[in-house]
Amino acid sequence: MRTVDIPVKIVLLHNASSSLEMLSRAKPAIGPGSTTPAKENKKKKALPKVEDFLAMRDYTGAITLLEFNRNSGKGNDETDLWIAYCAFHLGDYKRAMEEYERLTKKDSCHPDVWTNLACCYFFLGMYPEADEASQRGPKSRLQNRLLFHLSHKFTDEKRLMNYHQSLQDIIEDQLSLASIHYLRSHYQEAIDIYKRILLDNR
């Protein structure tokens, strides 16, 4: 009788054990009920939300999702507002202007749209249009800052001082004031404001 080497015996026993495990499997290797880790851990990815993109200041991602929603029939006035907002923050002022202009033609147009449209006109160098649109918007700190800058563009000193007096001690208004000082070659006044802001926001 031929003897079998011990290592060979071990291999044969291992193969027999594996065969028994396959025959006595309680759950299928694949499909429903499978315990394969890859199948267990695979979860359906949640669709991204506009808020997620905005929180990361990913305006390209946000505008892509918003346009998809609008083109698939899920858009509304709020979608259009966010598209304009994202376009503006991407520096596409012409696109933002077109979106806001379209919104102003609707009866349901929010009054703040006029101020936002005025900002687009301002960045496009359309100062008379910016002035007219801004006057149609509600009074706000943004409107005051915009009219303050427009007064400088129009070299209207009396009007400039009027809006200057309405500026408040908040960072946006103070930055606006510093920029006007700089544009008027009042460099020391601008430096003083910037230094104070840096000290207050360390």
Domains and CATH numbers, the chain: 48-110 (1.25.40)
**pLDDT value at position 37?**
53
The per-residue b/e assignment along 176-195, b for 16 or more CB within 10 angstroms, e otherwise, is: bbbbbbeeeeeeeebeebbe
pLDDT band at 9 (very low <50, low <70, confident <90, very high): very low
pLDDT exceeds cutoff 60 at 21: no
Give CA torsion, residues 111, 117, 119, 120, to 10 deg: 170
Quote the pTM value. Answer: 0.75
**What are the structure tokens assigned to 55, written together?**
């929180």
pLDDT exceeds cutoff 60 at 199: yes
**pLDDT value at position 48?**
84
pLDDT exceeds cutoff 70 at 12: no
- Write the CA distances from 23 to 11, 12, 26, 36, 199, integer angstroms: 19, 17, 9, 18, 75
